[in-house]
Amino acid sequence: MKRGKVLILTAPSGTGKTTLAKMLLKEFPQIKFSVSATTRPPREGEKHGESYYFISKEEFSQHITNDDFLEFEEFYNGSMYGTLKSQVEQELNSGYFILLDVEVKGASNVKRHFASECLSIFVQPPSLEALEQRLRNRGSESEATMKLRLDRARMEMEYSSSFDAVVINDDLEQAYIDLKSIVEPYLHSN
């Protein structure tokens, strides 16, 4: 069996990355979503090993010490997220293409680790104003977290040129067509 490869999808929060990832996963059974580890508690309906690997801060710290993560980050609320090398390697060795939904700096670490076995795609909003409107429409952000997310989005968008491809999500259907036109040839290059 041929070893799989890595697909990285990165975008500022609210850009539609998760929706696009779900569309790819539905259409291409050879792509498997990478399950991250997190220190935050499970939300309703989330399952350990499916949604995330829910672990304690102590376990997470031990994984950092052991260099077990491809990438990890601490977010606004103190929750930590990371991608375990062992999980990704296991799926790659089973022949799957592994889809990682990670932030910009984590994407750089994963890209460095996998080099030619990796395709990185940055999903960009049409503008910061459009992104702000999408976040406001969610209705889940306080003004403080809105400012944090927009500041972070500005920073993340500065890194878009370091990715293999950029997809602008102004219209979801067109963004998916664009994404698919990048991913499909990569899946057949194995």
Q: Is 131 exposed, middle or buried (0-12, 13-18, 19+ CB in 10 A)?
A: buried
Q: Is residue 91 part of a domain?
A: yes
What DSSP designation does 117 have? G
- The residues pairing with 49 across neighbouring beta strands, listed in sequence order, are none
pLDDT over threshold 80, residue 171? yes
Q: How far is 103 from 12, CA to CA, in rounded Å?
A: 8
Q: What is the pTM of this model?
A: 0.87
pLDDT over 70 percentage in the chain = 97
Q: How far is 178 from 166, CA to CA, in rounded Å?
A: 9
Q: Is residue 164 part of a domain?
A: yes
Q: Is residue 174 part of a domain?
A: yes
Q: Is residue 52 part of a domain?
A: yes
Instruction: Return the H-helix or E-strand segment holding 57.
Output: helix 57-65
Q: Is residue 25 part of a domain?
A: yes
Domain that holds residue 76: 6-187
Residue 89: what residue type?
Answer: E
Mean pLDDT of the region 131-145? 77
Q: Is residue 137 part of a domain?
A: yes
Question: Could you tell me the two tokens for 164?
Answer: 């293999």
Question: How many structural domains are present in the chain?
Answer: 1
Closest Cα to residue 160, out of 83, 103, 92, 81? Answer: 103
For β-strands 118-124 and 165-168, DSSP reports them as parallel
Q: Is residue 82 part of a domain?
A: yes
Residues 68-100: tens digit of each pLDDT? 999 998 876 788 999 999 999 999 999 999 999
Closest Cα to residue 52, out of 112, 119, 101? Answer: 101
Residues 34-75: tens digit of each pLDDT? 999 999 999 888 899 888 999 999 999 999 999 999 999 887
For residue 96, the domain's CATH number is 3.40.50.300
Q: Is residue 1 part of a domain?
A: no
Residue 189: what residue type?
Answer: S
